[in-house]
Structure 1
């Protein structure tokens, strides 16, 4: 019902904007690539599902006005920011610690729900996701139609676009697992990926230092 209220040209423009934003390297892209390369596609897709649910939850919160409250409260925004950085650093440490274990052993010993939960939490602690829904999405909403219905519809479009891109990242990164089956390269590559996640966490903390309102 919400999509019927939106002009097709506006919907296409929004989908294109969402695609460009999701193709820009960020926490989700790097984290999913790390999971797929080090643990395999199965756990990578589980993380993708968690990310999708996280984005959907934030989109619903935006429709209810909670995302606007987060964006307007420096204290709440900073709490989410530091929580997100700390969680990504913990994920990097977890990957570094498991680097000595054979890939097959790590992947078989971890349930998919663990990576689903990690993908979910990573996005719930990502204030930039809330900022997208508050700062960008409203530009595509018509004032002469129910705002909540349009917001929910556009949020669904964003989640679909993001999920397709994230699944593609996992599919491509999963090919790197062949290299990781070689014990000679496995530890080096997986620890390099863990360090890359540390770098993204630090970048994320720096990039969200100021709440863009």
Structure 2
């Protein structure tokens, strides 16, 4: 059981970790601006699925696997960076027809997939969780259950902050004219491409 004295500073640390924009927040904002709040929320679902996978890896204590296949993270990072640049380029060259027509459906899986790929492509998230979560674990108790609970808390905080970004970006989109929507699509695409370049240039911790 996590004590209040541990929970409060932990939640505050999670909040600081979550509100700092990174590749995941970038793609959430970009999708919300280009396709609306629903697209942003679906993207968040993908990022949290990826986060759950990483928390589970940490909870299982697979540090030795991470060290053995550490070079694979470089490849994963570059693939994710290329993916960000690709979807950013497509968005940058959008015609500006961003409003979904009545009766049509959003490609839900596309946004979930984007969120998951972008989050999994950032090895620093896994390395951060591996270094961050154990700091709040009581060595006298079961480590797996504690890390899973701590992981679910950081996921909840990240979901809340990301939803704020998605809603704000989606609301901003609703008040834009067609011309401004096209401009915003280009801005979002440029942000995504810049995020891809930033991710590719990040060095391992």
TM-score, normalising length from structure 1? 0.87
Following TM superposition, where does structure 1 have runs of at least 4 consecutive aligned residues deviating by more than 6 angstroms? none
Q: What corresponds to 1:184 in structure 2?
A: 179
How many angstroms apart in 2 are the aligned matches of 1:63 and 1:139?
A: 13
Give 5+ residue unaligned stretches, structure 2: none
What is the 5 A alignment of 1:47-126? 47-66=43-62, 69-70=65-66, 73-97=69-93, 99-105=94-100, 108=104, 110-126=106-122
Select the residue among 194, 200, 208 that pairs with 2:195.
Answer: 200
Higher mean alpha-carbon deviation, 154-163 vs 115-124, is at: 115-124
Select the residue among 18, 23, 35 that pairs with 1:39.
Answer: 35
Q: Contact conserved, 1:39 with 1:106, CA < 8 A, in 2?
A: no
Q: RMSD across aligned C-alpha pairs, in angstroms?
A: 2.0
Q: Contact conserved, 2:35 with 2:100, CA < 8 A, in 1?
A: no
How many angstroms apart in 1 are the aligned matches of 2:198 and 2:69?
A: 22
Higher helix share: 1
Q: Contact conserved, 2:37 with 2:166, CA < 8 A, in 1?
A: yes
Q: What corresponds to 1:146 in structure 2?
A: 142
Q: Contact conserved, 1:15 with 1:158, CA < 8 A, in 2?
A: yes
Residue 101 of structure 1 deviates from its aligned partner by: 4.3
Q: How many residues align?
A: 204
SS in 1 for 2:138: coil
Residue 160 of structure 1 deviates from its aligned partner by: 0.5
SS in 1 for 2:99: helix
String of CA shifts for 1:12-51, please: whole Å, max 9, x gaps.
2111111101111211111111111110011111111111
Give 5+ residue unaligned stretches, structure 1: none
Alpha carbons of structure 1 residues 189 and 49: separation in structure 2 relative to 1, 3 Å? same
TM-score, normalising length from structure 2? 0.91
Residue 74 of structure 1 deviates from its aligned partner by: 3.5
